């Protein structure tokens, strides 16, 4: 109890004197902590910006419906770009409408099996729009509205009849509907894409935009219509929705088994297709941003080491300047340990002030960058705390030698020091 009080008092004294000493040499101290500030700033600004973007990118990647995964030929995020691995994907068999139908028949666990194909981009015309916006043209099966998480705002979704008859009908994204039909309801009117007219049967709810990029700028038409126009060989993506989160893994396993049978994948060989879910996309994205963060981490470590040397330098000056004070303290009963504490504390406080300023400025600047990309502000607590922790370590590591030097000064000599 008593020793606790003593420790508190000593630390308090050391802290007070540290602030006192730093306050006495404002210019010198601020120049010294600038190094720390820059080091911490660089990592925090990157971490903040990434975290802000991440929230958005993750939202964007959540375009699949709940408990849904997608089966496709190519991986979602392709890291390798050498010919060999690209060829590996290209050699894979395509998914046809028949594959999806057989999958739907055979998979007993799945709730929905949807089929989509993003086959084309081009200008679309209507009688009411002055300009022809460029849109993406998607083929969809009726169940794909479920699996892609699309909600109809007006009219209806594509139906089984549309699909069976391969009708020339379309459901428009919210933005597109507004652009093509600024003055009234688009339902029942036609739009023209690549010289073919489609009747609008529905408009979707807006999904908003990410990084200023609209997510609602597309038209969807029955998948069979797409196959008629673009050929039976068009490669499709298949989405499978599980009835619940619990059944998700089972549905994935069953789908994998069925697909391997359908595609005649020899046993023991790896899948010749990719299964992508929201989670797997997010994980892949995270692993990429991790590399960016690690890079920023290395840069800021270098800056922090340089700053630490600056702190050590200024602390050595401080020890010399205060030789007399050290002598006085030793004479009235300060132990070496007390002097050590005092000077290490000074180094840590100096470094922490730089650290706190660096964190605040970093978060400010990171959010400013994020705000320009229209993302909401974030506060990366984990990185801020790590940053401050590292500052303390820097203070202790680079403050120890000057403090040791101070503690081991001869009291008699230091009392005489002018």
- Residues in contact with 118: Cβ distance below 8 Å, sequence separation at least 6, in sequence order: 136, 137, 138, 139, 237
Q: Does 325 bind other proteins (CB under 8 A)?
A: yes
Q: Least distance (Å) from other proteins to the CB of residue 353?
A: 18
Of the pair 266, 333, the CB lying nearest other proteins is at 333
Q: Least distance (Å) from other proteins to the CB of residue 2?
A: 6
Per DSSP, the residues of 224-241 read: HHHHHHH-TT---EEEEE
Q: Does 174 bind other proteins (CB under 8 A)?
A: no
Long-range pairs of 283-288 with CB within 8 A, sequence gap ≥ 24: 284/76, 284/77, 285/54, 285/57, 285/58, 285/61, 285/77, 286/54, 288/77, 288/79
Question: Residue 205, CB half-sphere, CA atoms under 13 Å: how many?
Answer: 8
Q: Does 5 bind other proteins (CB under 8 A)?
A: yes
The helices-and-strands tally (H runs, E runs) of the chain is: 14, 12
Q: Does 327 bind other proteins (CB under 8 A)?
A: yes
- Residues in contact with 370: Cβ distance below 8 Å, sequence separation at least 6, in sequence order: 48, 49, 52, 53, 376, 377, 378
Q: Which of residues 353-382 bind other proteins (CB under 8 A)?
A: none
Q: Least distance (Å) from other proteins to the CB of residue 59?
A: 53
Assigned token pair, 126: 């209507």
Q: Least distance (Å) from other proteins to the CB of residue 380?
A: 38
Single out the residue of 27, 91, 332, 381 in contact with other proteins (rule: CB under 8 A): 332
Q: Does 317 bind other proteins (CB under 8 A)?
A: no
Q: Least distance (Å) from other proteins to the CB of residue 30?
A: 18
Q: How far apart are the first and last CA of the chain?
A: 40
Q: Does 412 bind other proteins (CB under 8 A)?
A: yes
Strand-pair category, 112-125 with 237-241? antiparallel
Q: Does 321 bind other proteins (CB under 8 A)?
A: no
Q: Least distance (Å) from other proteins to the CB of residue 302?
A: 35
Candidates 134-142, 195-203, 332-340, 398-406; binding stretch for other proteins (CB under 8 A): 332-340
Of the pair 279, 325, the CB lying nearest other proteins is at 325
H or E segment and range at residue 146: helix 144-147
Single out the residue of 10, 60, 154, 272 in contact with other proteins (rule: CB under 8 A): 10
| Contact call for residues 75 and 90 (beta carbons, < 8 A) | no
d(CA 290, CA 286): 6
| Contact call for residues 126 and 192 (beta carbons, < 8 A) | yes
Q: Least distance (Å) from other proteins to the CB of residue 315?
A: 17
Single out the residue of 336, 360, 386, 397 in contact with other proteins (rule: CB under 8 A): 336
Of the pair 5, 79, the CB lying nearest other proteins is at 5
Find how far residue 319's CA is from the centre of its chain: 46
CA distances, 400 to each of 277, 303, 337, 411 (Å): 51, 19, 12, 19
- Residues in contact with 16: Cβ distance below 8 Å, sequence separation at least 6, in sequence order: none
Q: Which of residues 21-50 bind other proteins (CB under 8 A)?
A: 21, 24
Q: Does 403 bind other proteins (CB under 8 A)?
A: no
Q: Does 3 bind other proteins (CB under 8 A)?
A: yes
Candidates 223-231, 304-312, 398-406, 408-416; binding stretch for other proteins (CB under 8 A): 408-416
Residue 216 DSSP one-character state: -
Q: Where are the alpha helices (DSSP H) in 263-408?
A: 278-321, 323-331, 336-372, 381-407
- Count of residues near other proteins by CB under 8 A: 27
Q: Does 244 bind other proteins (CB under 8 A)?
A: no
Q: Does 195 bind other proteins (CB under 8 A)?
A: no
Q: Does 58 bind other proteins (CB under 8 A)?
A: no
Of the pair 11, 374, the CB lying nearest other proteins is at 11
Footprint of other proteins on this chain (CB under 8 A)? 2-3, 5-6, 9-10, 13, 20-21, 24, 324-325, 327-338, 411-412, 415
């Amino acid at each position: 109890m008593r020793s606790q009080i003593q420790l508190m008092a000593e630390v308090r004294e050391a802290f007070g004197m540290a602030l006192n000493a730093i306050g006495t040499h404002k210019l010198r101290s601020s120049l010294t902590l600038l190094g720390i500030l820059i080091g911490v700033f660089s990592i925090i600004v990157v971490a903040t910006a990434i975290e802000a973007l991440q929230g958005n990118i993750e939202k964007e990647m959540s375009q699949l419906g709940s408990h849904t995964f997608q089966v496709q030929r190519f991986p979602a995020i392709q890291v390798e770009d050498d010919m060999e691995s690209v060829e590996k994907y290209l050699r894979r068999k395509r998914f046809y409408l028949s594959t999806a139908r057989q999958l739907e028949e055979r998979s007993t666990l799945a709730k929905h099996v949807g089929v989509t194909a993003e086959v084309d981009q081009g200008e679309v015309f209507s009688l009411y729009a002055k300009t022809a916006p460029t849109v993406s043209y998607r083929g969809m099966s009726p169940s794909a509205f479920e699996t892609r998480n699309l909600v109809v705002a007006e009219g209806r979704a594509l139906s089984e009849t549309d699909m069976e008859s391969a009708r020339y009908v379309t459901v428009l994204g919210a933005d597109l509907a507004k652009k093509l039909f600024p003055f009234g309801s688009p339902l029942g009117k036609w739009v023209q894409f690549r010289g073919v007219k489609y009747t609008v049967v529905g408009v979707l709810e807006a999904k908003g935009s990410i990084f200023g990029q609209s997510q609602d700028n597309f038209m969807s038409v029955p998948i069979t219509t797409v196959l008629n126009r673009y050929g039976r060989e068009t490669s499709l993506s298949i989405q499978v929705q599980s009835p619940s989160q619990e059944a998700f893994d089972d549905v994935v396993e069953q789908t994998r088994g069925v697909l391997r049978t359908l595609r005649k994948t020899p046993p023991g060989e790896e899948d010749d297709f990719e299964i992508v879910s929201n989670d797997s996309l997010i994980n892949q994205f995270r692993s990429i941003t991790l590399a960016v963060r690690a890079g920023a981490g290395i840069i800021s470590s270098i800056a922090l080491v340089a700053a630490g040397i600056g702190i050590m330098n200024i602390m050595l000056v401080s020890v010399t300047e205060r030789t007399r004070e050290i002598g006085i303290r030793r004479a009235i009963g300060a132990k070496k340990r007390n002097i050590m504490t005092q000077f290490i504390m000074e180094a840590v406080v100096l470094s922490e002030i730089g650290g706190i300023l660096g964190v605040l400025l970093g978060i400010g600047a990171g959010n400013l960058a994020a705000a320009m990309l229209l993302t909401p502000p974030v506060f990366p607590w984990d990185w801020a705390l790590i940053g401050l922790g590292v500052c303390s370590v820097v203070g202790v590591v680079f403050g120890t030698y000057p403090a040791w030097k101070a503690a081991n000064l001869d009291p008699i000599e230091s009392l005489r020091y002018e």
